[in-house]
């Protein structure tokens, strides 16, 4: 089409084209040639008139025409920047909702100067690409001489137009041109956000507000109506109830905007794995951390490594690093056997699409393994592989049995060299590449992913920082050897249950619009080897399926220590790239507080500080030039690692030799490498608490990064949970102790990063809740003792309830029940899982949390050794819940047992008192008994676990609990502190002159 043709416009009310001659030309537009689409990354493109394609006339957000058409046809029809509904542009097919736009069409008015010659629509090229052809609707011009007043003519033409619209659907075109369908899929987003249905979330929000209102009235009533006969009991109960209300509010606020997410793995493959082109998926380094091969069985670690090596991901882009922080020769030899077995296990998994790809879990599945298998050779190869795995297990078991007794001269390697890690507290750094560049091929000749054994150097007098220090050593080693832009970290007992887990994460991290601001993708923790009823709430579904979904709707979930894919640059302390935001509206000068004066003042302050903070104002993707001294202060003295840290897309310099890289990798894991650097403070995993996961995620969010919560239908990773009560309480104790350490540290969410303003307030409330929840143990302990005290003293924490007050109590009960039911409705959590979580909240609150509150100040301020056993032994699948009733002596068992005995004795005392003093006391007794049974029912799993399968309880636990309960009861009867006492004679009986 020639440029002098004129402006061609279509009409919605009349099926014809209008050519406007003598048009003034296109509207001047900024020079935005070469602008990229912020959704798919392609060029926005121009029309034939030379105009830049503009999808949204409100904000001019750069979007190409295919993405614009897809959003109108299958999306929300809203501009992703300003949320304004897309209007129909020239040549675009009509979609649902266009009829609601009155007087909105290709032009605002219709004209009488109609050219009878057929003309294509202005702004579209005559020869369009296949990706655009299916989206553009060409209007047909009425034939010359056609009678406009023919009866039924308009209706007939309207039916033809509707038929033409239906024939332009995507299914018809895609079936005729499958290549165009692939091109269209490449442009589509890799993931999308799925808000909770309004029919489920809105009633829940209404009920939360109602509960908050009723709770305020209830507390107001409790404060204004004291129990004069027992002021101490009343005051204690009111303080506890206020603290419970505050804790509930902190827990409830982050749940206000929960969301789900959906990924499209086929689109990821179409975009980054095109046929005939190099694979564009990024490299990934996977970290597995282990310490003690006896408490963390090496067979479990080997299964985790095998499941990683067999993942559905390009083998040349995958590297597995196993960190042995105990420098055990058993772990080293187990990895040697693992590398040998992987050469036959990996091709078997990929040939028959095995899930899961951890051999122990796969061969122990009680399912029909022949389902969906059509290859005749599968049965024979499976039998062969199972026999090889059993031989592999026997070799691993032999290594473990051999390690029970350490030789006096220490361990000797096969070549006669003494094992460098004979002293686990004083040994050099060790690195062994088992699979990779040389010799890393399977039985079919295909290359295998890298498997690298790492044990960092340890010397007396150095602080090694436990798991956080080990992870930072892995970051430096991987940065020197492979330097992948993304990192997946797993615990040694968390195997890969979904072979496409990394692809799920890449759907978010490789998203061209929001992926650059995502620091990590967190997967929920799922566990094997848990009893059917989950007696000790090991699954923790309330946290993973409710709280984490709510955080995903704010700034992202917190980091839970495993099952997380990181962006390496985020761990290096960089801030996220700045996103282009719409400029705020400038107000007038009429108000001195909010007008132009304030804006000018801010601009002047900004210009005054511009020279001093120029480094912060530059684009983070193009890091400012820094001196070598600054780099060494941040990353350490290794020039090779500093060079790798400055590579945005990762990778290793091709000129580097493997021998030189290994020598430099040994250098970066030395004990003194982190001295006078920012490792552990601004770079890598953050030091300062045994719960380094919370600190690390908190620092990333404070820098402005956001995280993503990914819940695929098939769980990505599965692990082993502590199955018996003692180990479960020890695990909770360690987490509680770490939370209290963060509360008293410099990085406390209560005050850290408040001025920077990059952490959203609801996200901050969630982090505050993660560090203050152990303190609820004190009011919870007092509240669990109140029922027994009331039964002993024949008093109660509530006064006589009037008719009006009873309405408050009934309303509070209804709102509490309704809130829980509606929460379970939108989250999908079962009522049994919720109830187990409530029971273990009380059990852990009066045991693990309480002991953490006592010991944490001693560790922080008095610098005393708390003798914490962080490594928890966990049951394997083969035990069939045999360890469920296994008890180990721990002081954590004493407080719950004591409270249980006191409440049981109180129930007996209260009933005996009512029987001996008359039936008029049964009415007041009923409320006290309900209160006591509330405590006993919550402690029922603890009581059942304490008795055990053999109905036998550790003698020391019984002795200490009975002793403490007896002392408490006798002391209470002797003192009776809450009874009202009078001194002197009773003037009502004796009179004033007695």
Q: Catalytic residue positions?
A: 325, 693
Buried-exposed string 498-523: b where 16+ CB fall within 10 A, e elsewhere: bbbbbbbbbbbbbbbebbbbbbbbbb
Q: CA 626, CA 804: separation in Å to the nearest integer? A: 71
Q: Please provide residue 32's backbone torsions phi and psi, each rounded to the nearest 5 degrees.
A: -115, 30
Q: How many CB atoms lie within 10 A of CB 462?
A: 15
C-beta of residue 13 within 8 angstroms of C-beta of residue 5: no
Q: How many CB atoms lie within 10 A of CB 419?
A: 17
What DSSP character marks residue 679? B
- Angle between helix axes 658-668 and 466-481 (nearest 10 degrees) is 160
C-beta of residue 122 within 8 angstroms of C-beta of residue 48: yes
Q: CA 676, CA 39: separation in Å to the nearest integer? A: 43
Terminal C-alpha separation, the chain: 122
Q: Please provide residue 218's backbone torsions phi and psi, each rounded to the nearest 5 degrees.
A: -65, -45
Residues in CB range of 129: below 8 A, 6 or more apart:
183
C-beta of residue 901 within 8 angstroms of C-beta of residue 965: yes
Element holding 666 (H helix, E strand): helix 658-668
Q: What angle do CA 284, 288, 294 make, to 5 degrees?
A: 165
Q: CA 907, CA 878: separation in Å to the nearest integer? A: 42
If 0-12 CB within 10 Å is exposed, 13-18 middle and 19+ buried, where does residue 1 land? middle
Q: How many CB atoms lie within 10 A of CB 940?
A: 13
Of 241, 240, 246, the closest CA to residue 779 belongs to 240
C-beta of residue 953 within 8 angstroms of C-beta of residue 947: yes
Q: Please state whether the peptide bond connecting residue 356 to the residue before it is cis, i.e. omega within 30 degrees of 0.
A: yes
Q: CA 464, CA 886: separation in Å to the nearest integer? A: 33
Identify the three-state secondary structure at position 452. strand
Residue 311 C-beta-side C-alpha neighbours within 13 Å: 29
Buried-exposed string 474-493: b where 16+ CB fall within 10 A, e elsewhere: bbbbbbbbbbbbbbbbbbbb
Q: CA 735, CA 845: separation in Å to the nearest integer? A: 12
Chain center to CA of 907:
44
C-beta of residue 475 within 8 angstroms of C-beta of residue 635: no
Token output for 93: 């097919």
H runs (alpha helix) in 828-866: 831-845, 848-860
Query: Beta strand pairing status for 259-263 and 191-195?
Result: antiparallel
Of 902, 916, 910, the closest CA to residue 970 belongs to 902
Q: CA 172, CA 250: separation in Å to the nearest integer? A: 53
Q: CA 758, CA 768: separation in Å to the nearest integer? A: 16
> Which residue carries 């007087």 as its tokens?
103
Of 510, 507, 517, 648, the closest CA to residue 579 belongs to 517
């Amino acid at each position: 089409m020639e440029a002098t043709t004129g402006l061609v416009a279509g009409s919605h009310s009349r099926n014809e084209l209008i050519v406007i001659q003598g048009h003034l030309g296109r509207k001047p537009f900024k020079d935005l040639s070469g602008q990229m689409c912020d959704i798919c990354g392609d060029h926005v493109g121009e029309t034939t008139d030379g105009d830049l394609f503009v999808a949204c006339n409100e904000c001019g957000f750069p979007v190409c025409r295919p993405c614009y058409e897809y959003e109108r046809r299958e999306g929300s029809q809203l501009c992703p920047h300003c949320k304004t509904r897309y209007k129909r542009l020239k040549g675009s097919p009509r979609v649902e909702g266009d009829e609601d736009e009155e007087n909105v069409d290709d032009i605002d008015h219709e004209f009488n100067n109609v050219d009878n010659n057929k003309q294509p629509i202005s702004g579209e090229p005559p020869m369009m690409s296949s990706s655009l052809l299916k989206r553009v609707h060409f209007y047909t011009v009425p034939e010359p001489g056609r009678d406009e007043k023919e009866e039924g003519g308009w209706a007939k033409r309207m039916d033809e137009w509707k038929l033409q619209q239906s024939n332009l659907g995507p299914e018809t075109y895609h079936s005729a041109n499958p290549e165009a369908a692939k091109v269209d899929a490449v442009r589509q987003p890799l993931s999308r956000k799925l808000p909770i249905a309004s029919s489920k979330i809105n009633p829940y929000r209404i009920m939360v507000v109602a509960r908050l209102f009723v709770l305020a009235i209830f507390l107001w009533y409790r404060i204004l109506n004291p129990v004069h006969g027992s002021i101490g009991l009343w005051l204690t109960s009111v303080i506890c109830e206020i603290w419970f209300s505050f804790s509930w509010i902190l827990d409830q606020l982050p749940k206000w905007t929960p969301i789900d997410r959906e990924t499209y793995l086929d689109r990821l493959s179409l975009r980054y794995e095109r046929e005939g082109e190099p694979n564009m998926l990024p490299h990934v380094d996977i970290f597995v951390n282990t310490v003690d091969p006896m408490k963390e069985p090496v067979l479990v670690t080997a299964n985790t490594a095998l499941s990683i090596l067999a993942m559905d991901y390009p083998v040349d882009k995958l590297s597995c690093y196993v960190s042995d922080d105990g420098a055990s020769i058993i772990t080293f030899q187990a990895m040697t056997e693992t590398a040998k077995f992987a050469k036959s296990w990996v091709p078997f998994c990929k040939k028959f699409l095995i899930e899961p790809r951890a051999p122990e879990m796969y061969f122990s599945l009680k399912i029909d393994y022949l389902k969906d298998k059509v290859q005749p050779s599968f049965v024979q190869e499976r039998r062969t592989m199972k026999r090889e795995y059993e031989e592999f297990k026997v070799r691993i078991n032999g290594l473990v049995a051999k390690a029970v007794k350490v030789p006096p001269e220490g361990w000797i390697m096969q070549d006669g060299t003494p094992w460098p890690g004979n002293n686990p507290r004083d040994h050099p750094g060790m690195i062994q590449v088992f699979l990779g560049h040389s010799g890393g091929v399977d039985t079919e000749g295909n290359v295998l992913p890298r498997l690298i054994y790492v044990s960092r150097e340890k010397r007396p007098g150095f602080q090694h920082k436990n798991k956080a220090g080990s992870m930072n050593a892995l970051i430096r080693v991987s940065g020197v050897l492979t330097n992948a832009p993304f990192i997946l970290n797993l615990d040694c007992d968390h195997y890969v249950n979904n072979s496409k887990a990394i692809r799920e994460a890449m759907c978010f991290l490789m998203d061209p619009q929001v992926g650059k601001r995502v620091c990590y993708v967190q997967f929920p923790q799922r566990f094997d080897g848990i009893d059917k009823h989950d007696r000790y709430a090991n699954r923790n579904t309330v946290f993973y399926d409710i709280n984490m979904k709510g955080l995903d709707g704010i700034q992202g979930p917190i980091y839970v220590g495993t099952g997380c894919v990181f962006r390496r640059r985020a761990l290096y302390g960089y801030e996220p790239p700045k996103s282009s935001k719409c400029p705020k509206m400038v107000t007038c000068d009429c108000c001195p507080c909010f007008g132009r004066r304030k804006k000018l003042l801010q601009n002047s302050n900004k210009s005054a500080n511009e020279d001093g903070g120029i480094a912060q104002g530059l684009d983070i993707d193009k890091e400012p030039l820094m001196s070598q001294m600054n780099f060494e202060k941040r990353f350490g003295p290794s020039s090779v690692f500093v060079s790798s840290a400055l590579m945005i897309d990762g990778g290793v310099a091709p000129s580097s030799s493997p021998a030189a890289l290994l020598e430099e990798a040994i250098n970066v894991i030395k004990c003194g490498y982190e001295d006078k650097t920012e490792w552990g403070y601004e770079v890598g995993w953050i030091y300062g608490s045994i719960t380094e996961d919370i600190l690390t995620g908190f620092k990333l969010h404070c820098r402005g990064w956001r995280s993503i919560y990914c819940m695929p239908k098939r769980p990505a990773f599965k692990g082993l949970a502590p199955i018996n009560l003692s180990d479960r309480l020890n695990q909770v104790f360690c987490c509680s102790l770490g939370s209290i350490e963060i509360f008293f540290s410099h990085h406390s969410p209560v005050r850290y990063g408040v001025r920077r303003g990059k952490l959203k307030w609801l996200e901050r409330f969630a982090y505050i809740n993660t560090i203050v929840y152990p303190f609820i143990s004190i009011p919870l302990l007092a509240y669990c003792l109140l029922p027994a005290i009331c039964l002993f003293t024949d008093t109660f924490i509530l006064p006589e309830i009037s008719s009006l007050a009873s309405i408050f109590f009934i309303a509070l009960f209804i709102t509490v029940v309704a809130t829980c039911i509606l929460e379970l409705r939108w989250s999908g959590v079962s009522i049994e899982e919720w109830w187990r979580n409530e029971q273990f909240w009380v059990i852990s609150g009066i045991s693990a949390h309480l002991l953490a509150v006592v010991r944490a100040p001693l560790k922080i301020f008095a610098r005393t050794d708390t003798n914490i056993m962080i490594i928890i032994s966990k049951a394997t699948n083969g035990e069939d819940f045999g360890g469920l009733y296994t008890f180990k002596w721990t002081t954590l068992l004493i407080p719950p047992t004591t409270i249980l005995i006191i409440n049981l004795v109180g129930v007996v005392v209260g009933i005996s008192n009512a029987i001996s003093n008359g039936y008029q006391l049964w009415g007041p007794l009923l409320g006290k008994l309900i209160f006591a049974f509330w405590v006993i029912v919550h402690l029922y799993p603890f009581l059942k676990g304490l008795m055990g399968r053999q109905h036998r309880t550790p003698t020391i636990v019984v002795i200490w609990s009975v002793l403490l309960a007896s002392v408490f009861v006798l002391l209470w009867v002797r003192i009776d502190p809450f009874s009202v006492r009078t001194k002197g004679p009773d003037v009502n009986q004796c009179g004033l002159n007695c």
